[in-house]
Structure formats: C-alpha cells, structure tokens
Amino acid sequence: MESSSDEEEVHTFIQVISEKYNPENFPYGQGVVVLPSPPGSPVKDRLFLPSILVLNHCGISKAGDKSDIAAFCAHVVELDLSHNQLNDWGEICTIVSNIPHLDFLNLSMNPLSGVELEPSMADIFSRVRRLVLINTHVSWDTVHTLTRHTPELEELFLCLNGYNTVSESQTSCPSLRLLQITDNQLQEWAEVRKFGLMYPSLSALVLANNNVDSVGDTQETLQRLFPNLRSINLNNSGLSKWEDIERLNYFPKLEEVKAKGIPLLQPYTTHERRSLLLAQLPSVVVLNGGAVSNGEREDAERFFIRYYQDCPEQELPQRYHILVSKYGHLAPLAEVDLSPRCTMVDVRFGERVEAVSLRLEQTVGDLKKHLRALLQLPTNGIRLFYINREMCSVVGPEELKCGCRALHSYSIRDGDEILVVPKVKSRCSSSDL
C-alpha cells in the first residue's frame, strides 16, 4: 500500500473537480447541479459544475474513476487542462471519453513528448473542434492520429513544440480552418507547403516567430495548395526579398497579412514600411492589424511610384509599371517650406508709425512684449487693435485681446496695421454702466 505522502502527490481529475466545485466552495451554486451516479460514490453528494471547466495548474496526472467523470461531466463542453502533469494518453482518453459533448480541449504545457496516441483510442476525440497542444512537444505522428479522428476539427494550436520540420500525413484534415504554429523552428518554405496538402480548407495560418526565409512557390502551386487562405501571420520571420511579398498575391483569397519584424523592412521608416507593403498587396484589406481605407491605399500606391521612379529600368519592381498605368507618371512632391511665416505690418503708436515684421506663429502676448521693447513703451498696460487694410471701412479695428491666441488666427496680411493704445484705468465701476 502506498504511503499517504505518495497519495497526496497523485492528483486525479475527479479529485480536483470534487474539491474545486463542491458546495462548500460554491454555496450559492454555479453552473449545473450534478448528483452522483452510482449512489455511494466517494465524491461529494453533489457538485456545482459549469459547462466550461478550467482546471489548469492543478497537478493532475491521472483521470480517476471514469463512472464519476461520466456522472459529473455530461454537460461539459470546454475543458482546460493546461499546466498539469498528464504524460499518458490513456489517462487523457479516460477523461475525454466520458465527456460526450466536449468541443474545446486545452492540453498545453503537459509533458507529452515521446508518448504516442494509439490510433485505436483516438476516436474518442471525434467531437473536438478546437484543440490546443502548445508546448507539449507532442510528435507529428500523434498530431496526425488526432486530425485523422477529429472530422469536425476547426482550430489547432501547435506553438512552442520545437518543430524544425513538418512530417506529412497521408490523410488530409479537410475541416481545419485555423493553424497556429508560432514559436517553432521552421525555416524553409518546403515545410510550410505541407500544410496546404494536409489542410486544404485552411483559412488562417499563423507562422509568427519562425524563421521562415521565403515564400518559395509559383502562382499555380500556391493557388492549388492554399485555395482558401484568407489570413497569414509572418511576424518575425526571415523574409528578406520583395519577391516574397509579391508572391503573397498568389494566394487567391488572401486579405489579411501581418509582416512585422522581418529583415526586409529594417532599412525603412515606419511610414515607408506600411506604404511599400500596401502598394505591393492590392487585395489586402487588413495590414498588420490595421484596416486599410481606399484613401490610404491610393496614398500608398502614389508613394510607391514616387519612391521608385528614379531607379534604373532593370531595378523597377513589376508592381511599379502596373501602378504607373493606373496613375500615370507623377511629378515629385513639391518642397513645402515649413519655416515660420513673416508678415510686414505698420505699427501705429500715437503719431509714430513703424514697419514691423511679424512672425505669425507667435501669440498676442509675445507681440505685446516685442512692441514694448521695440517702441520703448512704459511698463503700463497696452491694448492692441488690428486694422484690416481692405476691410477697415466695413469692420473697423479688432482688438487683440487674448494673450495666448496665435497671430495667424486673425488672418493678418502684408500692409495691415496694428494700433497700439495705452491702457487707461476706468474711473467708473461696472455697476455705473
């Protein structure tokens, strides 16, 4: 007989749910109240089990009594068993086979390296539509055994599994829509190509943080292998040639691309990266997570023409000629002078008139200080009035009252006049007015 300390180290699935979801922990109930069957089960007389079970970081290594699992998990549809100690597919199968409506299964961070799933046991996964095997180091043989026996599988997560090659399955998985295989060591497009053969309905392929060095297929091959691909994530891949970006257009339904952190784009500014990518990808409607408007696309395509128009003919990308046929040859952008604007005005103070150059980005307060120094006015307050030379007979002088307002907001032009008047203290109070 095992010692009590050994028993404490072995956590079964059924022990964990009976402790986590017993009525003492959930006095007001949660989810569905389940009564045990058969009677006399060692589990509490009832459990409050939600249909989504989260049992991560619970030290689970065994299943426990399958009749108890069947009694308590008949209504469960999602099961998170990540970060446990499951290292035997037999135990996992005992759990899953007694949860008849299981739709989502997360086995991430369980030590499944080197343990194979027997094909004869795999049918019990047939209802699963979303399967997460992140950082399990599960073998490709086991992945293929699973995908052969999950006819409704739509989403498969294989990140952080140390794969540097893809072992091809002889049986495709036509239901799979999303494959997330980030943070592996895939480098050659010849490995990525195999996903098209195995998963013909693939709509989203997430390859981020692999060092994939190219998109190395012809248009005909990519159309045949990835006829339904709508989204590809190549963040932090090894792409270094514009030809690889151009080849993304060969995926017939591609409309969303992520390509941040690739060597190709390092020499460019943020604006150049987005504009040059956008101009090369005419069918993409979401780039690096941001929706593309018609206006942004036109700006990017015009930028692309100007960017390349001084290159030698043999260095011009194919896309350049297509865009020139759309927009024509564009004149270089005019140089915009962003230096401060100056305007000459007449400053009138009593009988004295001075021609003064105003910087229009300065404020009314700045101008008052400047004029006090220029005209050597007393430190008493002054008031400024702006006289529009063309409109003075219609509108009269306008006082420049607000010290923080910029001069350009008054539409001051050459030849206008600024009238300086000493501020006189009023002798009557407002109540006399």
Q: pLDDT confidence of 35, banded at 50, 70, 90?
A: low
- Would 348 be classed as within a structural domain? yes
What is the per-residue pLDDT for 334? 61
Last residue of a domain, one of 269, 292, 327: 327
- Would 332 be classed as within a structural domain? no
Place of tokens 């002078």: 337
The pLDDT of 262-275, averaged and rounded, is: 95
Last residue of a domain, one of 296, 327, 358: 327
Check whether residue 259 and residue 143 sit in a common domain.
Answer: yes
What is the per-residue pLDDT for 29? 47
The pLDDT of 208-236, averaged and rounded, is: 97
Q: pLDDT confidence of 329, banded at 50, 70, 90?
A: confident
Bond before 38 cis per omega within 30 degrees: yes
Taking only the tens place, the pLDDT of each residue in 195-216 is: 999 999 999 999 999 999 999 9
Taking only the tens place, the pLDDT of each residue in 283-326 is: 999 999 999 999 999 999 999 999 999 889 988 999 999 999 99
What is the per-residue pLDDT for 88? 97
Q: pLDDT confidence of 429, banded at 50, 70, 90?
A: very low
Look at 165 and 380; give whichever has higher pLDDT.
Answer: 165
Concatenating the DSSP letter of every residue in 276-344 gives HHHHH-TT-SEETTEE--HHHHHHHHHHHHHHHTTS-GGG--HHHHHHHHHH-PPPPPPPP--SPPEEE
The pLDDT of 261-271, averaged and rounded, is: 95
Check whether residue 238 and residue 96 sit in a common domain.
Answer: yes
What percent of the chain clears pLDDT 90, i.e. is strictly above it?
A: 65
The pLDDT of 252-263, averaged and rounded, is: 98
Q: Is residue 249 scored above 80 in pLDDT?
A: yes
CA dihedral sign, ordered 95, 96, 101, 102:
positive
Q: Is residue 104 scored above 90 in pLDDT?
A: yes
CA distance 42 to 421: 98
Check whether residue 242 and residue 384 sit in a common domain.
Answer: no
Last residue of a domain, one of 258, 292, 327: 327
- CATH code of the domain in which 79 resides: 3.80.10.10
Check whether residue 19 and residue 128 sit in a common domain.
Answer: yes
From start to end of 25-65, where are the E strands? 32-34, 47-49, 52-54, 60-62
Cα angle 257-258-259, degrees, rounded to a multiple of 5: 115
Check whether residue 316 and residue 403 sit in a common domain.
Answer: no
What is the per-residue pLDDT for 336? 57
- Would 4 be classed as within a structural domain? no
- Would 2 be classed as within a structural domain? no
Check whether residue 138 and residue 239 sit in a common domain.
Answer: yes
The pLDDT of 41-57, averaged and rounded, is: 76
What is the per-residue pLDDT for 7? 44
Check whether residue 354 and residue 303 sit in a common domain.
Answer: no
Beta carbons within 10 angstroms of residue 370's beta carbon: 15
Beta carbons within 10 angstroms of residue 83's beta carbon: 16
Its domain, for residue 363, covers 342-425
Check whether residue 307 and residue 380 sit in a common domain.
Answer: no
Check whether residue 346 and residue 235 sit in a common domain.
Answer: no
- Would 6 be classed as within a structural domain? no
Burial 129-151 (b: 16+ CB within 10 A, else e): bbbbbbbbebbeebbbbbbbbbe
What is the per-residue pLDDT for 310? 87
Taking only the tens place, the pLDDT of each residue in 365-411 is: 888 888 888 888 776 678 899 988 887 777 788 888 888 888 888 88
Cα separations (Å) of 29 from 20, 44, 46, 75, 218? 12, 14, 10, 16, 59
What is the per-residue pLDDT for 430? 45
Question: Can you say how many angstroms the Cα of residue 334 is from the centroid of all Cα atoms in its chain?
Answer: 35
Check whether residue 362 and residue 299 sit in a common domain.
Answer: no
- Would 265 be classed as within a structural domain? yes
DSSP-derived secondary structure letter, 117? P
The pLDDT of 64-83, averaged and rounded, is: 95
In degrees to the nearest 10, what's the CA dihedral of 181, 185, 189, 190? Answer: -100
Q: pLDDT confidence of 431, banded at 50, 70, 90?
A: very low
Residue 175 CB-half CA count within 13 A: 17
Q: Is residue 257 scored above 60 in pLDDT?
A: yes
Contact assessment for residue 239 and residue 216, using Cβ atoms and an 8 Å cutoff: no
DSSP reduced 3-state for 100: coil
The pLDDT of 354-373, averaged and rounded, is: 86
What is the per-residue pLDDT for 133? 98
Check whether residue 205 and residue 67 sit in a common domain.
Answer: yes
What is the per-residue pLDDT for 396? 81
What is the per-residue pLDDT for 352? 87
Concatenating the DSSP letter of every residue in 6-27 gives HHHH-EEHHHHHHHHTSTTT-T
- Would 111 be classed as within a structural domain? yes
Check whether residue 322 and residue 179 sit in a common domain.
Answer: yes
* Lookup: tokens for 354: 């001075």
Beta carbons within 10 angstroms of residue 40's beta carbon: 6
- Would 431 be classed as within a structural domain? no
What is the per-residue pLDDT for 343? 85
In 3D, which of 66, 52, 59, 51 has the Cα closest to residue 14? Answer: 66
Contacts of 128 (CB under 8 A, 6+ apart): 96, 102, 103, 104, 105, 150, 152, 153
CA distance 66 to 14: 9
Contact assessment for residue 105 and residue 130, using Cβ atoms and an 8 Å cutoff: yes
> Which residues does residue 132 pair with via DSSP β-bridges, in sequence order?
106, 157
How many domains, in total, are found in the chain?
Answer: 2
- CATH code of the domain in which 410 resides: 3.10.20.90
What is the per-residue pLDDT for 337? 60
Q: Is residue 68 scored above 70 in pLDDT?
A: yes
